[in-house]
Structure 1
Amino acid sequence: MSSFDFTPSTASDAGFAAEPLQELRLFLHTAVGHGNLPGAVIFLARGDKVVLHEAIGRGDIDDPAPLRSDAIFRLYSMTKPMTAAAMLLLYEEGKWSFDDPLSKYLPEFDGIAELPGSQASREPVLRELFTHSSGHGFGDTMDEILATVARIDIFGAKSLTDLVGRYARLPLRYEPGTRWEYSIAMDLQASIVERITGLRYDRFLEERIFDPLGMADSGFALSHAQNARLVPGYAMDAGTRRLRPGNMLEMQEVIFPLGGSSFRSTIADYARFARMLLNRGTLGDTRILKPESIDLMLTNALPDDFLANSYNTLHYVIGGGNGHGMNGMVCIDPDKASRPVGKGTYEWAGAHGTWFWADPEHDIVFVGMTNRAMPHPEIPPLSTVSQDLVYRALRG
């Protein structure tokens, strides 16, 4: 297990002005006070110096106890970067190649381009799974997405293999490699990991990533003591404009681990993973991945003709100055993207209000976690606010 540990620091010692960071605290306190968020935990470090590791508000709106800084949150799509790391571990072992066809590892997808309604002439290759350009998708509107979910009964699946078989019945929505569309490709990656290794996906992550990095509170199945720290999920009621418990579709609870969601973690654990990325594969005396693998993960993989267009998911915009690496967005031109982050910043978020970024130019890791389903129309995007204030603090 890695011997690394973050060191508490003052803002000034880490090169930040204090006032904008106080504005970030105030913004979150106000959002909690107005009933827009149950609570939030934030973590900011530059190098190994921790400037912020604070909990604001409550985890459970029916419990007066304050939110703990070691509360466990559902990561949802912040699972995706860990899935990229899992696949890269097997890539280093020569177990797969970027231009391999998907059906080489998941034979259920053999002939998917010939399904009725398919808009593709071929099946995707593995490199297209990492950039949401594989032809997979659920639809352009919420009605289309919900209809697709209902048609294949995603929540009725009993295992990842069962779920992948259901995905294989969906026709491809476009020619692979010709557009960006948010998809189920990371679940396919997790299934590939299972088939190559013979291990259930969560066990592979535990053995190869979580345990070596000292991420003791991360995983799919939690202990009884850890479940006591797992915060409930909430959504905003459209009628009352008050927080309510999330429903089944909003919570997306499944009985088996997925590659695109389903894992749980603390903010400190996830910061260790992000720090490993910025260290190009190491944390303390523990190496997880080779530097070359991290470079693959954190480098834009979309061609220029993609970037001439704009693709949206929630508040993220792919295109222009933002590209896509392996399972996450990469800022390739901050000026063109009109963003304050450094060049090469890698980031993603989760459906219930988790977000993070890792900035190699400025050696910054930021992680934020809340437990309210997105979107949050009452407040600006949390990642946008936190980035604006953190970089204002950095630039004094």
Structure 2
Amino acid sequence: MLADLPEQSPDALLALIKMYAADPRKEKIDLGVGVYRTDDGATPVFAAVKGAERDLVERQDSKAYLGPEGCMDFVRCLMPIILGDDMAKSDRIDGMQTPGGTGGVRLAVALAQAAGAKRVWMGTPSWPNHAQILKDIGMEAATFNHAADGATDMDALKDAIAKADAGDAFLLHGCCHNPTGIDYTVDQWHEIAAIIAEKGILPILDLAYQGLGEGLDEDAQGVRIVMKAVPEALLAYSCDKNFGLYRDRVGAVYVQAAEADHLPRIMSNAASFARATWSMPPDHGGSVVREIVADDTLRGEWLDELAGMRRRMLQVRARLAEAGTAGSVDLTPLAQQHGLFAMLPLDKDQIQALRKDHAVYMAGSGRINIAGLTLGNIDRFIAALAKVSG
């Protein structure tokens, strides 16, 4: 019976990782893997994380189960950071811990489906796992174009909302759009919030990179604007990037209910889905985040480290934009984009030539990880780009 299972295509990014690792060239450049890197090419553990882990080793007195909702102190300590002080006090909002932002998205979609949503609309291109999660859960995916000519395609979004039925869900990236780096402006978020509220659409907000764009509050503006405008919303959150806790799988899902007395019933469904899917989330990373946020010294250290990451990515974007064009590729829009990722208009042959002739590894879609570029390799990358696209 098991032998009858069809073979699945290997994950393209995992295949790219293997190809990069096998390449013996010392000058090779990895722009594929979506992790932050320093100018030395390292992905270090945050000093604040190390400090919190030392504290936990000394003080944690049990590894007993916490239940499907995970560590609620972790869930609630993030709420002022994500939602702001006032909204964090709302009796209409509650949450639970999930295994990474992926778990948060999956749980949010499952709740939307159970509540009656038949379709989830999302802008494309999007994080590839969004479509995979929808397919696995059995939700219809409807798409619209996210960006055009280096800016968000608001006409496509508004057309999609006009076509949507009341009760449909819309999946929106909160900031640092993956894979384009192209975000909605504050004015656009207000417009989006108003028309979503008027149409009766359920927003599913994916906030996976808070603090890596313009700042913690700035990166959360879109989420806050939408949640203030609508009666109900779902929010998936990830600590993987902004705390550097990739392998610890640290995330959360938040629910905003139309009325406070609806929350216990909604969260009971969330707990039931979690119990059947992963039973309960891993605690270590959530406890680390809780320790950092609660301790003034560790929190200050984390904020400094996060600001340093943000500055470095902005410097890389500025340097790329200064180059103007590399062959046929206009790099100037990258200065106005945010976060780890950007899309370059390259075809498969050009991407293959970058890999074969210049040891530059990127996703087949043209997505690059900005943090894979350093002061030591950025000029070489620009020159390689000019050669393959000229």
| TM-score, normalised with respect to structure 2 | 0.29
| TM-score, normalised with respect to structure 1 | 0.29
Name the larger-Rg structure: 2
The structure whose residues are more often helix, as a share, is 2
